[in-house]
Amino acid sequence: MRHVYQIQAQLVTFPVPSKSIDPNIIAVKLIGVCGARANVRHGALIFAHYLTNPNIFAYNTLLKAFAQNNEWYCTVYHFNKQMVTPDAPDPDEYTFTSVLKACAGLALAVEGEKVHCFVTKYGCESNLFVRNSLMDLYFKVGHHGIALKLFDEMLVRDIVSWNTLVSGYCLSGNADKARWIFDGMVEKNLVSWSTMISGYTKMGKLDEARQLFDEMPERNVVSWNAMIAGCVQNEKHADAIDLFRQMHHQSGLMPNDVTLVSVLSACAHLGALDLGKWIHKFIRQNKMKLRLFLGNALADMYAKCGCIDDARRVFDTLQQKDVISWTIIITGLAMHGHAHEAFSCFNEMLEHGARPSDITFMGLLTACTHAGLVDKGLEYFNMMDQVYGISPKVEHYGCVVDLLSRTGRLDEAENLINSMPMKPNVIVWGALLGGCRIYKDAERGERVVQRILELDPDHSGSYVYLANIYASSGRLDDAARCRLRMRDNGVMKTPGCSWIEVDNTVHEFFMGDLSHPLADKIYSMIRELRWKMKLAGYKPKTELVVHNVDEEEKEDALSTHSEKLAVAFGLISTSQGTTIRIVKNLRVCKDCHDAIKIISELVQREIIVRDRSRFHHFKGGSCSCNDFW
């Protein structure tokens, strides 16, 4: 772009006479380069200020630049502006392919139908490229009948037509029909294979997608991206990372922005900080431009791997920021318990003219919840509708109920649930149940459990809560019956799972896990820690174990929780002084929380645990959450 700016400066300083060269020719070249370099805003400025009478080539180049950079709203806006400008040239097939792509990307059915009318008016409906674009649009807005009619009426079809048909059936969830058409195609290209793979992954058919991927005669970056993104979408994050390593080391292909965004998402989920840092280094070494989506993914990875300062540094380097960028930092600060920093960031966002989204407010409410700031949380909750016209969703109500419940205001929390404009879901009632658990309101808790089981008879947390209530009050037979009812109804408790990354490899642990190759050393470390912890005054919370077994067996069960196994593995696998980082799929239990506080002091290490709702930074015998989580 530096060279483009120099050329443009020459043209401004020494204008080329219009009799020598049509200004449109120069503008088309400049706008095209801006589009190719993802600097389409500058291209739009050239169009607006350099051309007094733009021709159809200039309009089409501008629309194409917007469309190929997914600036779909701008594409539609400039098309509509062209249609109402008196001296503007009539649109042609190139105009329509760009604007139809934008309508499809935004799923704008009405706007797409309006463009279809213009297509017919200007005699472009029989054009192959326009017809393919119309098919794609109607499939993506759910008008499958119209799309199929357009396909059936085509006198000439190319491979794009067939690929669009396969994609359309995938979008409608008809995998068998899509595969039947795919198998019957006389000619297939890499796009055909990638389309079918993406279709399978979007329908959750990951095994079929992987089988098809393995059968491919050759692969390009798009093929790998389809499979990697599919793994991430289906929460097979470790598989996504393995595929990325295969792609990078075996295929010799250069990953692009799309690849890295998917892999960074997997790193964020698993807490794979080492790989995330390697990707950041890869971006710098290969002088890749940190565009918006990639920058957001990188900042999100750092925030979710416990490095909020690094996330903020990436955020500060972004030349362009959107509401997602600000929301990532606000939510990251909230997850780390930095509530006031999150509020400051929100104010900074408003000063920069960015409009908050409903997800931004989820981050702010989460910050209030983790800090116990009820009044501030209610202020943000009311601000959503009153100031920004954002109607709170059930998730926002759930967050406020959680905030009230955690601070003991159970009556207000229940009253808020009863006043909700929508039907409360399991998560909302579950937030109130959490407060009942903390403040031992058994009567209200049993009432809430009945509400939850009416909505979800398989809600394992409710059965576990009842069993715990009965066990803590000495009603062991009732607790056992609750467990039996769980078993008889086929209700499965979500197993606790913890991940830790060591030497670029993510290790997974479940409660009582014996499958790890270093299991003997891990359990030896567990025994050593138990002995040292008892000397330091640690008393296991055996009341959390509802099974009717003796105290020693209860202590054994507590000592093999997944996060304790991950901590033990981290201690035997990393050097003294190294920070141990763990990710858990559930909320960390009270016993593990107390145990890891003591361990952090015994081993003089910082231990960072990300559970389902927040980060816990254990250091020197204390936790960043101040025991409020």
Residue 178 lies in a domain: no
Residue 609 lies in a domain: yes
What is the Cα–Cα distance from 627 to 257, expressed in whole angstroms? 40
Instruction: State whether residue 159 is helix, strand or coil.
Output: helix
Judge if 1 and 100 occupy the same domain: yes
What's the CA angle centered on 595, arms 594 and 601, to 5 degrees? 100
pLDDT of 81 reads 93
Average predicted confidence (pLDDT) for the chain: 91
What phi and psi values does residue 43 have, to the nearest 5 degrees? -60, -40
Q: Report the run of H or E that residue 617 belongs to, with start and end.
A: strand 615-619
Judge if 532 and 608 occupy the same domain: yes
Question: Tokens at residue 23, please?
Answer: 């200004």
Report which of residues 262 and 86 the model is more confident about: 262
Number of Cα atoms under 13 Å in the Cβ half of residue 45: 7
pLDDT of 264 reads 97
Residue 147 lies in a domain: yes
Q: In sequence order, what DSSP letters do the residues of 430-486 get, joined into one string? A: HHHHHHHHHTT-HHHHHHHHHHHHHH-TT-HHHHHHHHHHHHHTT-HHHHHHHHHHH
Span of 214-223, 275-284, 486-495, 600-609 with lowest mean pLDDT: 486-495
What is the Cα–Cα distance from 612 to 617, expressed in whole angstroms? 14
pLDDT of 469 reads 75
pLDDT of 494 reads 80
| 478-528 pLDDT tens trace | 888 888 888 888 877 788 899 999 988 999 999 999 999 999 999 999 999
Q: Using CB atoms within 10 A of its CB, is residue 113 exposed (0-12), middle (13-18) or buried (19+)?
A: middle
Work out the number of other CB atoms within 10 angstroms of the CB of residue 188: 18
Instruction: State whether residue 615 is helix, strand or coil.
Output: strand
pLDDT of 552 reads 74
Q: Report the run of H or E that residue 200 belongs to, with start and end.
A: helix 190-202
- How far is CA 28 from each of CA 77, 83, 150, 497, 585, rounded to the nearest angstrom? 19, 20, 33, 56, 52
Region 163-174 average pLDDT: 91
Judge if 460 and 574 occupy the same domain: no
Residue 238 clears pLDDT 60, i.e. is over it: yes
pLDDT > 70 in the chain, percent? 98
In contact, 239 and 508? CB cutoff 8 Å: no
Judge if 63 and 85 occupy the same domain: yes
Residue 365 clears pLDDT 90, i.e. is over it: yes
Residue 263 clears pLDDT 80, i.e. is over it: yes
Residue 595 lies in a domain: yes
In contact, 60 and 95? CB cutoff 8 Å: yes
Work out the number of other CB atoms within 10 angstroms of the CB of residue 587: 15
Judge if 110 and 147 occupy the same domain: yes
Residue 101 lies in a domain: yes
Q: Using CB atoms within 10 A of its CB, is residue 433 exposed (0-12), middle (13-18) or buried (19+)?
A: buried
pLDDT of 302 reads 97
Which residue among 126, 157, 188 closes a domain?
157
pLDDT of 582 reads 95
pLDDT of 366 reads 94
The residue assigned the tokens 């350099």 is 50
Question: Tokens at residue 612, please?
Answer: 């389902």
Any bridge partners for residue 501, and if so which? 506
In contact, 114 and 84? CB cutoff 8 Å: no
Residue 8 clears pLDDT 90, i.e. is over it: no
pLDDT > 90 in the chain, percent? 72
Judge if 3 and 148 occupy the same domain: yes
What is the Cα–Cα distance from 329 to 370, expressed in whole angstroms? 16
Residue 284 lies in a domain: no
Work out the number of other CB atoms within 10 angstroms of the CB of residue 394: 15
What is the Cα–Cα distance from 555 to 545, expressed in whole angstroms? 9
Judge if 39 and 147 occupy the same domain: yes
Judge if 453 and 564 occupy the same domain: no
In contact, 212 and 196? CB cutoff 8 Å: yes
Residue 550 clears pLDDT 70, i.e. is over it: no
What is the Cα–Cα distance from 586 to 164, expressed in whole angstroms? 41
Q: Report the run of H or E that residue 584 belongs to, with start and end.
A: strand 580-584
Residue 543 clears pLDDT 70, i.e. is over it: no
Region 357-382 average pLDDT: 95
pLDDT of 117 reads 97
Residue 602 lies in a domain: yes
What is the Cα–Cα distance from 346 to 331, expressed in whole angstroms? 10
What is the Cα–Cα distance from 69 to 244, expressed in whole angstroms? 24
Judge if 148 and 25 occupy the same domain: yes
Q: How many residues does the chain have?
A: 629
Judge if 14 and 134 occupy the same domain: yes
Which residue among 429, 464, 488 closes a domain?
488
pLDDT of 547 reads 58
What is the Cα–Cα distance from 223 to 400, expressed in whole angstroms? 43
pLDDT of 482 reads 80
pLDDT of 461 reads 79
Instruction: State whether residue 318 is helix, strand or coil.
Output: coil
Instruction: State whether residue 581 is helix, strand or coil.
Output: strand
Q: Which domain holds residue 520?
A: 497-623
What is the Cα–Cα distance from 307 to 35, expressed in whole angstroms? 34
Region 189-212 average pLDDT: 93
Residue 422 lies in a domain: yes
Q: What is the CATH number of the domain that holds 483?
A: 1.25.40
The residue assigned the tokens 């990188």 is 298
Q: Report the run of H or E that residue 323 belongs to, with start and end.
A: helix 323-335
- How far is CA 342 from each of CA 88, 331, 398, 458, 628, rounded to the nearest angstrom? 48, 7, 20, 37, 18
- Per-residue pLDDT band for 585 (boundaries 50, 70, 90) equals very high
| 302-337 pLDDT tens trace | 999 999 999 999 999 998 899 999 999 999 999 999
Which residue among 441, 462, 488 closes a domain?
488
- How far is CA 380 from each of CA 364, 368, 398, 485, 629, rounded to the nearest angstrom? 7, 9, 14, 42, 20
Q: What is the pTM of this model?
A: 0.81
In contact, 432 and 401? CB cutoff 8 Å: yes
Judge if 617 and 557 occupy the same domain: yes
From the DSSP assignment, how many helices (H) and strands (E) are in the chain? 33, 6
Residue 542 clears pLDDT 70, i.e. is over it: yes
Judge if 445 and 555 occupy the same domain: no
Query: Could you give the residue ranges of the DSSP H alpha helices within 352-419?
Result: 358-371, 374-388, 394-406, 410-418
Span of 204-218, 323-337, 464-478, 608-622 with lowest mean pLDDT: 464-478
For every residue of 40-97, which 3-state class applies, written as one string? HHHHHHHHHHHCCCCCHHHHHHHHHHHHHCCCHHHHHHHHHHHHHCCCCCCCCHHHHH
Strands 580-584 and 497-502: antiparallel
- In the chain, the number of structural domains is 3
What phi and psi values does residue 444 have, to the nearest 5 degrees? -65, -40
| 383-420 pLDDT tens trace | 999 999 999 999 999 999 999 999 999 999 999 999 99
What is the Cα–Cα distance from 533 to 596, expressed in whole angstroms? 10
What is the Cα–Cα distance from 305 to 619, expressed in whole angstroms? 17
